[in-house]
Amino acid sequence: MNTTSDLSLGRRVMALLDGLARHSDEPGRLTRLYLSPAHRDAAETTLRFMREAGLDSHIDPLGTVVGRMSGADPDAPALLIGSHIDTVVDAGRFDGTLGVVLGIVVAETLRAEGITPSCPIEVLAFGDEENARFPTNLSTSYALSGRYNPAWLDGQDQDGVSLRDALIRFGGDPEGIAGIARNPARYKGYLEVHIEQGPLLEARNLPVGIVSAINGITRARATVTGEAGHAGTVPMTMRRDALAAVAEMIGIVERAGSTRTDTVATVGVAQVQPGAINVIPARVDFTLDARSPDDAVRHAMVEDIVSECEAAAQRRGVSLTIEPFMDSPAIPMDKDLILGLEEAVGTIGVTPLRLPSGAGHDAVAMASLCPAAMLFVRCKDGISHNPAESITVEDADAAARVLVEAVKKLTAGAPR
């Protein structure tokens, strides 16, 4: 049982993360949306890291960075390891990038130990996990299982730029998407390491944990249209105030998400027009994000939210449109890969704990290609989607050692 370490792997992980954290589209904070200039730079840096680790690497037509290590049997079903390098606005530096960097550190470690895996190993750095720029759903990872929705190409960001145009500007190729789809028979599994983005591991004083299942997510874009008017002259009873209506709707969303302990519902974005202090708001564009481990519960919750918001719109004389663009199912992780991760966690002297994921991950999409499993890493105060997001070098090291053990077991190869 290898419970001591010189932390060299943890330090290597932190160094590679530092290299990626430099790439942001905004000065003074980390924002790296899909297909942005910072995403391009981060993809190039990831490509360099992969090549320096000896991986045969390229950037695919949708911007995913792919690094491949050959195996003793080049035709054996490959093991995939990955996560994402896109971020939310004003993000932390560990969400997504940790899993990519750990895949690279595993490749470096196998090579340093002279181990040729029995099968090929691929490291994947996806670019559209947050879906924070376009109305998509894990587009770059779903492309690997042949489930890319062509309608995503016509989706626009808040500046009216289509995904297709952004992809071409990025150096991607909309015509190459079909070629990204992989044959499921050629893959034995997908492993993703990710920060927990919640408080449980810290509360249990555990550096790592194993994901049992990933919650389902509904996302929608909504618009309420009222009537602009003079804030000083229009009587309160004669207004069609779009923002006052949305304020009531946000209360509806919050109450719906609070009815059970395992559901959540959030309005994360609200853009007010015309947005002047003395003008009654005419229009509000806002978003809905609703989640549950049970898809029937989630669908019923969303139906309740929509019907109550429609009633509120009717009472207030405003119009409401709600356009769902994501219905991501709750996904259990693969039982055999979970057992393998539990065994690997045991080798570093940690008691394995299974826990659900409230956050979505590329593993949801990858589970439609091959068996998928995730290892969570403790993060301080459970904070994420926040620049205060942090992990310790010791926990980064623990995660690296667990992943190396799990990969060695899954690709038991002969020393060179």
Residues that bind ligand HGY (CB under 6 A): 129-130, 359-360
Among 60, 86, 95, 157, binds Mn ion (CB under 5 A): 95
CB-wise, 130 or 389, nearer to ligand HGY?
130
Select from ligand HGY, Mn ion, none the partner in contact with residue 334, using the beta carbon and a kind-dependent cut-off of 5 to 8 Å: none
CB-wise, 184 or 324, nearer to ligand HGY?
324
DSSP 385: S
| Pair of tokens at residue 258 | 């609070």
Selected range binding Mn ion among 55-63, 88-96, 157-165, 234-242, rule: CB under 5 A: 88-96
Q: How far is the CB of 219 from ligand HGY (least distance, A)?
A: 9
| Pair of tokens at residue 146 | 């042949």
CB-wise, 216 or 226, nearer to ligand HGY?
216
Q: How far is the CB of 84 from Mn ion (least distance, A)?
A: 6
Q: Looking at beta carbons, which pairs linking 407-411 to residues 24 or more positions away fall under 8 Å?
A: 407/79, 407/81, 407/106, 407/110, 407/117, 407/121, 407/191, 408/110, 408/115, 409/340, 409/343, 409/344, 410/79, 410/188, 410/189, 410/340, 411/71, 411/79, 411/117, 411/118, 411/119, 411/121
Select from Mn ion, ligand HGY, none the partner in contact with residue 397, using the beta carbon and a kind-dependent cut-off of 5 to 8 Å: none
Selected range binding Mn ion among 92-100, 160-168, 218-226, 267-275, rule: CB under 5 A: 92-100
CB-wise, 96 or 293, nearer to Mn ion?
96
DSSP 114: T
Q: How far is the CB of 140 from Mn ion (least distance, A)?
A: 13
DSSP 159: T
Q: How far is the CB of 88 from Mn ion (least distance, A)?
A: 6
CB-wise, 144 or 217, nearer to ligand HGY?
217
Contact 128/325 with Cβ under 8 angstroms?
Answer: no
Q: How far is the CB of 188 from ligand HGY (least distance, A)?
A: 26
Q: How far is the CB of 218 from Mn ion (least distance, A)?
A: 17
Select from ligand HGY, Mn ion, none the partner in contact with residue 86, using the beta carbon and a kind-dependent cut-off of 5 to 8 Å: none
CB-wise, 141 or 223, nearer to ligand HGY?
141
Q: How far is the CB of 46 from ligand HGY (least distance, A)?
A: 19
Q: Collapsing DSSP states into helix, strand and coil, what is residue 149? A: coil
Contact 381/201 with Cβ under 8 angstroms?
Answer: no
Q: Is 352 in the site for Mn ion (CB under 5 A)?
A: no
Q: How far is the CB of 98 from ligand HGY (least distance, A)?
A: 13
Contact 199/359 with Cβ under 8 angstroms?
Answer: no
CB-wise, 130 or 397, nearer to ligand HGY?
130
CB-wise, 292 or 357, nearer to Mn ion?
357
Q: Please choose, from the candidates 218, 220, 219, 214, the residue with its C-alpha nearest in 3D space to the C-alpha of residue 330.
A: 214
Select from ligand HGY, Mn ion, none the partner in contact with residue 285, using the beta carbon and a kind-dependent cut-off of 5 to 8 Å: none
Selected range binding Mn ion among 90-98, 119-127, 147-155, 257-265, rule: CB under 5 A: 90-98
Q: How far is the CB of 130 from ligand HGY (least distance, A)?
A: 5
Cα(173)–Cα(248) distance, rounded to whole angstroms?
Answer: 43
Selected range binding Mn ion among 89-97, 159-167, 172-180, 343-351, rule: CB under 5 A: 89-97
CB-wise, 129 or 157, nearer to ligand HGY?
129
| Pair of tokens at residue 102 | 């750990």
Phi, psi of 189 (to 5 degrees): 170, 165
Select from ligand HGY, Mn ion, none the partner in contact with residue 128, using the beta carbon and a kind-dependent cut-off of 5 to 8 Å: none
Select from Mn ion, ligand HGY, none the partner in contact with residue 405, using the beta carbon and a kind-dependent cut-off of 5 to 8 Å: none
| Pair of tokens at residue 68 | 């491949």
Cα(245)–Cα(283) distance, rounded to whole angstroms?
Answer: 10
Phi, psi of 80 (to 5 degrees): -110, 140
Cα(234)–Cα(123) distance, rounded to whole angstroms?
Answer: 60
Cα(61)–Cα(76) distance, rounded to whole angstroms?
Answer: 25
DSSP 198: S
Burial class (CB in 10 A: 0-12, 13-18, 19+), 393: middle
Q: Is 96 in the site for Mn ion (CB under 5 A)?
A: yes
Select from ligand HGY, Mn ion, none the partner in contact with residue 360, using the beta carbon and a kind-dependent cut-off of 5 to 8 Å: ligand HGY
Cα(334)–Cα(171) distance, rounded to whole angstroms?
Answer: 35
Selected range binding Mn ion among 35-43, 91-99, 331-339, 407-415, rule: CB under 5 A: 91-99
Cα(181)–Cα(167) distance, rounded to whole angstroms?
Answer: 18
Contact positions vs Mn ion (CB under 5 A):
95-96
